[in-house]
Every structure is written in structure tokens, then in C-alpha cells.
Chain A
């Protein structure tokens, strides 16, 4: 048993790491999808890049979790800009998400070239955030991911019914005395950091799927709120574990995209076999 563990150390680390990321993303993703903010994940993933770059330029540290903290700050700023501009103009959310996504990311690329020019770091460091480097997670990485995942789940369980209420009917929540704005802030920040821990493993371009697909698939099978949450987490972690396992055995198969393909297979199977919900014209 111990010898198996020792010789397959990397694979097991990768599986644990992606499992944690997948579970967290799926969990917080349930709320994003319910609030019709599915693509917020895509926007935040891209918006984090300048934060990572700026944090690097400021701290000169290559500790991924320091950098990801910077990414988190940038992600929060991006998310709040989306919220602010959507509320004060007649522009719709999709346009704002696209603007934040591309502009922030473009700025991050500019910073990246500045860093390269000054010879401060090699391209690989920031390039890793495009696809993540799930295949090279250390036990320290796992520990840090686990800690962040723990905190995120604590927040979710603390604000369980509040989060669901504001996702389902914010006006009702407001009328019942809940400080909807503060809850939205908490939910958004939690989402940002859930995405940010995933960036390191799965990379920018694929976090979107990890947020949406588990909840979207789970919704087709169950309708109670807690069942949805747990089933989404199950789907998300299953895809991550399967994906990382498969990619470790097939040469040159990148981890992130393989996980997405596994997740998509779950979705496809769901669409083929799950009962059709007849909530009038309702959908997720």
C-alpha cells in the first residue's frame, strides 16, 4: 500500500488537487448558474491575469498563492465593475463580461511583456496560468488548495439559505430584511477565490466549464436545493479525478482539457438520459 502510494505519488497528488478544485468550483458554481451569471467565471478567470502580473511585479515572489491572491483582487475588481456598470447603464451583463474579460486580460498581457522585457521572469511562469500545471502539484500546493477549499465551504454552509434565497428571488430577500447587497458581495468574493484556486491547476481557459457544467448537469436529475448542490459537487470531482487519471496515463495528454472533456461527457450523458423537466417554460 505504502509503496504504491510512493511510486504513484504525483498522480495521487494531482487527483487530490483537482478533486478539491473541482468540488469547490462545482459547489460555488451552483449559485452562479442559478443567478444566470454562468459566464462570470470565464470573465473572472481572464480578469485575474493582470492581478497576478502586478502582484509579481510588486512582491517579486513566485509563490503561486501569493500571485493568485493578486489575481483574486483583480478578479474582485472586475466582478464589481461588471455589477456597477450593469446597474448604472442600460448595457447588459453579457457585454460587460466580455469587456472586462478582454480588456483586463489584454492589460495582463501588456504587463507580461513588461515583465519579460525587464527579464524578471521567464514566460513559463505566467504561461502556466493559461492551462494550469495540474501535473506538477506539490504537497504544499495541495495543502494550500485544501485550506482555501475548506474556507470556501465554510462560507457556503454559513450562508447556505441566504445564498440560495438571493439566487432565487433577491427582491423577496430584500423585503424580508436581508442585506442583499452585502450577501452578493460575499458570494461574489467567494466565487472569485474559488475560481482563482482553480486557475493554478486547470488554467484560465477552462475554469468556466468547471463552474457551470456540474451544476447544469445536476439540475437535470434533481430539483431539491441540497441535492443539486451535492450532486454537482459529485459530478465536478468525478470529472476532475477521472480526467487527471486518464491524462496521467496517456502521454502528452494535457490535464485541464481532459478534465473538461470528462465533464462534457457527463453533461452529454445527462442530456440523453435525464428526465425532461416540465416546469412550464422553465429551465435552469
Chain B
């Protein structure tokens, strides 16, 4: 029993690292909700690809989902470029269409298949250890470990090799362009990774946890540190902590694991929002009061 739980925990930890890595840059770029948009839109890719291959276990489903994710980003950008709508409105129009088409496809043509939309939203990590990766007759462990492990490697490599390029293109888009980088290529690269991550992670934890882990740990870290490097490490820390504590709580209280992880990440955020040493609410109120006192004292002296 313990071994099974260990595998589940391992999968949860890998999923959280995979999610948080692109999420950091989504938050910094101000497009955090693209994670939500992509998580919903991939349903169309999965549904469409399933109707083509009629095989729920086909890796092509992952490909279809990633393509749908990229298509969402591309379409949203196209809408923004027409200058008819701003970013938030553009996002809010494109992904509901993709998602609705996905639901319609499933309802019309794949009703009897277990493509449960609930699964898309919530995932079911408890079953993950049972999908094994069988290679040459050897059981090499849960396949989720390998998919997510590969995903983590992919995301980490992208960030490692293109660290300064990512940082610059988000901080100063025009300068990055003038210098000779391609900020739009980097952006699509980031979005492509987000799509792949959303797809491989939601099979296990569901799209809500994907969104929660992509946004909340980076936001939490953002309130604590001032340097990008520290922010990355701290985000990974909070993300892993959220999934460990969330999983443990869910097992102990016998509730939804995915929901628990999302809730716990929010609780950490709340704690940091209130009690962070400099940027926290309590600290800010305290400093303001101290400043007021100082100034009043100085005025009285004069």
C-alpha cells in the first residue's frame, strides 16, 4: 500500500514541477489566464483526435491536444492584432468556442466512450499508478511518471537554455526584438510548453489543478522575493509543498485529491499575502503606521 502511495506522490510532485515552470513566465508576462484558456481548449484537440484514431490510449491524443492549445494562442493573438479587442476580451472569446466545440463533438459522436468531461476538469490521480509503462515486457512503473518526467525535463531545459532570452523578452519586448532575439518565437515556445504540460498533467490532476499550480505558487513566490532566480526556486518549492500537503490532507480526510491540492496552494498564497515580511498586508499596514508616527514626531520637533 505504501509503495502505491509513494508512486502517487511521486507523480503529484512531478506534475507540480512541470506546471509551475511555465506558469512563472505566464504570470510575469501578465497572461496567467492563458493557462485556463489552454486547459479548456485542449478538450477540442483530444475530442477531434479521438474521433480520428478511435483509441483512447493513443499518444496522438496528446499531439492533438497540444495543437489545440497552440491554435488557441495563435487565434487569440490574431484577434488581438486586428485591434478590435484587447487581450482579456480576446482570450475570453476564443477558448469558450474551442471548449464548446469539444463538448459538442463528444456529445454527438463519442457519447458512449469514457471521455468524461469531469475527468478533464478533475483528473484522477489515484488511478495514475495503475497505468503502467510496459517496455519489452518489463513493467517500468506508472507511465505517468515517464510522461511527466519527460515534461519536467523539457520545461526545465527550455528555461535553462533560454533563461536570459525569456527574461528579456518579457521585461522589454521591443528591446529583445531590436537585439535580434525573436520574442514572438519565445512566446509561442512558452505557450507550446504550457499546452503540452496542461495535457500531460491534467490526465493525472485535472485542468483546475493545472491552473492552480501554474499561477498560485509563482504569485506566492512573487510576494516574497525580488529576483527572478529566487522566484523560480521558491515557486518550485511552494508547488511541491502544495501537492504534498494537499495529497496528505486529501488522503487523511478522504476528499478529492485534485481539489485539495488546489485549495492548499491557495492557502499558502493567502498566508504569504497576509504575512510576507515586506510585501505582506500586515507588514504594509505596520510600516505605514510607523512612517506616519515618524513624520508626526518630526513635525512636532519642528
Chain A residues within CB distance 8 Å of chain B: 33, 36-39, 41-42, 46, 85, 88-92, 94-99, 101-110, 112-114, 117, 127, 130-131, 205-206, 208-209, 211-213, 216, 219-220, 252-254, 256-258, 260-261, 264, 267, 271, 274, 276-277, 281-284
Contacts and interface: CB of A to CB of B under 8 A. Distances in A.
A276 B85 CA distance: 11
22 contacts: A42-B36, A89-B279, A97-B32, A98-B32, A98-B215, A98-B216, A99-B216, A99-B219, A99-B266, A105-B262, A106-B261, A206-B99, A206-B100, A211-B92, A216-B84, A216-B85, A219-B84, A260-B96, A261-B101, A277-B84, A282-B83, A284-B84
Contacts of A106: 208-209, 212, 258-263, 266
A233 to B, nearest CB: 17
Interface string B97-136: 1011101100110010000011001100000000000000
B102 to A, nearest CB: 8
Chain B contact surface mostly = helix
Contact of B99 (A94, A102, A205): A205
A110 B88 contact: no
A109 B258 contact: yes
Q: Which of A90, A95, A101, A108 has the most C-beta atoms of chain B within 10 angstroms of its own C-beta?
A: A95
A110 B267 CA distance: 14
B107 A254 contact: yes
Closest 8 interchain pairs by CB?
A: A106-B262, A103-B266, A109-B259, A257-B100, A102-B212, A209-B96, A110-B259, A98-B215
B281 interface: yes
A103 B96 CA distance: 20
Interface in B177-215: 208-209, 211-212, 214-215
B140 interface: no
Given A38-B88, A209-B96, A258 B104 contact: yes
B255 A113 contact: yes
Contact of A42 (B92, B97, B284): B92
Interface string B57-93: 0000000000000000000000100111110110111
A250 B36 CA distance: 30
Given A106-B258, A283-B84, A284-B84, A99 B279 contact: no
A141 B263 CA distance: 32
B254 to A, nearest CB: 6
B235 interface: no
A127 B85 CA distance: 33
Given A88-B281, A261-B100, A130 B117 contact: yes
Contacts of A38: 88-89, 91-92
A130 B116 CA distance: 12
A89 B86 CA distance: 24
Contacts of B222: 90-91
Contact of B84 (A37, A102, A113, A220): A220
Contacts of A261: 97, 100-101, 104
Nearest to A97: B33
B173 interface: no
Q: Which of A99, A131, A277 has the most C-beta atoms of chain B within 10 angstroms of its own C-beta?
A: A99
A94 B100 contact: no
Contact of B100 (A41, A90, A260): A260
Contacts of A97: 32-33
Interface string B231-271: 00000000000000000001000111011111101100100
Contacts of A267: 93
Nearest to A254: B107
A205 B40 contact: yes
A283 B250 CA distance: 46
